[in-house]
Amino acid sequence: MTVETDSSSPDDPPEMSRRTMVLLAGGMSVGVALVLGVTLLVGGDGTTSAARRSAEGAVPAVEGKSVQEATRVLAERRLPVGGVPKVPSSLPAGRIVYTAPPAGTPIAEGSPVTLYVSDGSGGGTADVSRMTVPYLVGVDTGHATRVLEALGLRLDPADAKGVVATQDPAPGTEVAAGTTVKVTVGAPP
């Protein structure tokens, strides 16, 4: 009686058939195509994230600045003020403590930035007799009213409903506290 012995060792991997290799390669190709297709469908445009960030811009660093100066900087970049809540801080009252989103964060034009303002619990005050008109185009009038009131300004017409299409004075204009900002409501130009 003869016994056949297997010359392969138990540590040798089994050989893969040509058919199996072709199927694996085809499956991987389909997988890559699906990932690329979904990426483009969901919003990818083939550009790098660095290219998108430079096109969008970033939240400017306004910490330590007055509300007036921070509002002017945002208006120059066509970024509306998202809100102006007061927070405890050692900075003088009326100075920006931080923003949301934080400085340096990529942001698209027209996206709101909330300015967190010192309540002055650390002493000192900032001059609030003058204010910079914020960027309001594309902002709901209810939100625009709240932001203007927080900045010591008023909206005209006070009962406007909808999205701000135009504004006067222009964003970034320095005005006296209490100034009325006239708006038209509708689709932005």
At residue 51, the pLDDT reads 39
Q: H or E element: which one contains 166?
A: strand 164-168
Beta strands in 113-159 (DSSP E): 113-118, 130-132, 154-156
Residue type, 37: G
Q: Tens digit of pLDDT for each residue in 42-79?
A: 554 444 444 344 446 999 999 999 999 999 999 999 99
Domain positions in the chain: 18-47, 53-185
At residue 48, the pLDDT reads 44
C-alpha angle with apex 154: 135 to 126, nearest 5 degrees?
75
Give CA–CA dist 154/143, Å, rounded.
12
Helix then strand then coil, % of the chain, to nearest 5: 30, 25, 50
pTM score, two decimals?
Answer: 0.61
User: From the CB of residue 95, how many other CB atoms can be counted at a distance below 10 Å?
Assistant: 23
H helices of 43-79, in order, are 49-56, 67-76
CATH class given for the domain over 53-185 = alpha beta
Give CA–CA dist 9/98, Å, rounded.
67
Give CA–CA dist 131/178, Å, rounded.
9
Dihedral sign from CA coordinates of 104, 106, 110, 115: negative
Q: Tens digit of pLDDT for each residue in 118-168?
A: 988 876 666 668 888 999 999 999 999 998 988 889 999 999 999 999 999
Q: What single DSSP character describes residue 82?
A: E
Give CA–CA dist 64/95, Å, rounded.
5
Q: Tens digit of pLDDT for each residue in 33-44?
A: 666 655 555 554
